[in-house]
Structure 1
């Protein structure tokens, strides 16, 4: 029996490191306790929540502002039909390119500086966008399109810096709750811009045009775009406060091996982790987050084209295009927020089942034909019900996105060594952005549907 036992022990020692379901162990059998060190802090959680809001506020602001951009492009049918897909593609390509470069520069990265730079860039970009609603009203549709793409590209660079910096920075705390706070903040960033957009539209008298395009005044657009500047400023102040907290720095030091921490300059002790090694350890979670967000990118194109089944002339103003489109985005983002919060509740986390997350990500393609049953472009719906579109399609599609994304971004720390967490955070955010980029190019096919 002793000989048999030694054989099995040798086989076990050759096996590659892989966490057990519900926990993880080192190759020598010692259990890895995640989150060792100083305990959870609601102050730190609130700051990461705010950073999550700032991270995706700009992205969701562009989506919810579709009626205003439709007004600016109504004189050019080609731009009116394709501006949303072009917006998504420019944003995701800029984001992905930046993420690739930032991931390769992980060894000497200063993640706090990246976060601060991203928020400062957002402040400048969206101040300029707000000014454009007052100063550039008479420019041609083509010229405004070029300006919009430039602004979108600048915002994508800021988002890349923020995503790479925040997910890498938070992973050093060893607290999954903080990552869940970021994901919840991203969900809030989807809800509030839609609410602001609906309020700004309903608070200003409606204008009719010859073509009947959804209308929104420049005054309401100015107030709406300026909120992005305010949110980024608030997040910048909150993050500077976080950096000033001695306890925050100590939490990061406790999550790394002591022999790799240089108290004078932490970045000099960070080792470069090969992306191939991270891919092997995080294959299922990385694949799940990639597929989930690739499929998700279909929804903005359909959402800005699907109208209420009610007659526009007699429908309440909330169901007219200028309000109904942001209302549909609101339902999707409420679902997304619910999905992001759910993994933080006991019994709803699936971080120990990465293969199941991967399968669920594939199953989300069922929502694409469901959009085709709705009132696309006012041509009529196979299922003539706004409730079906808003609740069954938009809300549930959002729930699935938030739930899968939150599980993947919370759970990756269970599958890597402590000194690989920062690099793994950057790698997972890279996979997320890669999924968004792939989906943005596929959205051109949806635009022609």
Structure 2
């Protein structure tokens, strides 16, 4: 891709569009009472997904953009779990019945830092308040540096069937620069232990754009990962926002690759994974041919949510824990980000929502277009407008950046059908941003 186009469209301010409208547009006028009303309106027979956030780690990785803190021992986790269990009960009290569950994800932080016996008890509580389908997907994020056989036993017994392993990079120079030292042997040991306990669906997370990373080191990490044959890999670009995440101030900015180098790294990793038999999914995911993501992509039902790309088609996501985002029929809700504030609300017997967003019909249309662009690199805007009751001509004319994207050869538009050229997939966020009515329109 031309240097000028990369510098023009690779804007760090652009959202990743895991939700739309994005979190900065959420309002504090949406709180616990509104959320309770929205929960009571949920259809009693429609499947939902659950997300549980565990905001603790044994050490802090400087690149991390998620709210998490260091813990020593199990006491802080057990205190937090007491609040989490109470939140589950408070939410269940608002629901019309024990809703069917099709997808569960434990994120963080390091959710596998929960003691095995406590994790089993938490899963038992969830099954008491929700009706799990036999085929429910239950996933957990894992730090291989602290993963034990005892935890693998508990995950297998609890019905966990997918694990996402944080790798980021196997290059020790890069690892030292971001305070995450871990060996290839630790990752391989975690994979082997999971598979021995029946958890055969494995994801790896890799990062590019980290300090001291090169194209070769990115390719070497990808090849090392491929040798362990995970079902999926997520290859994210590091977002350096030290003004927002203070821990990132520990990273040497002078060692960060520029936009051109980042694009070269992303392309090299993609080529490596595709050559190894993985299918590229949207912007940054890769999966083996028989994986649910590939099947969902072929069927046109790939989704985009707060975890990235997903085959989960549930319209509702109920979030638990500090900072967790829920997607209900009426809109989005987010819990208090700070764990102490979250605990305070729950102990007072009220839900911990701090802000949210009530969706309009126009928001739903824009979200649908953005999701299809992010998932399929194309969108049938007239068909989506018709489905939501909008005039496609007026709507397309309002997306003023489309003309610039077309002139620069990023997209092709025919009768309102937008297609992003494959060689420009790494700037897909700039295309999606053309339909973001809330985005800061300051020139690039």
State the TM-score, normalizing by the size of structure 2.
Answer: 0.24
Q: Which has the higher helix share?
A: 1
Structure exhibiting the larger radius of gyration computed from Cα positions = 1
Higher relative contact order (CA 8 A, sep 6+): 1
Q: Which has the higher strand share?
A: 2
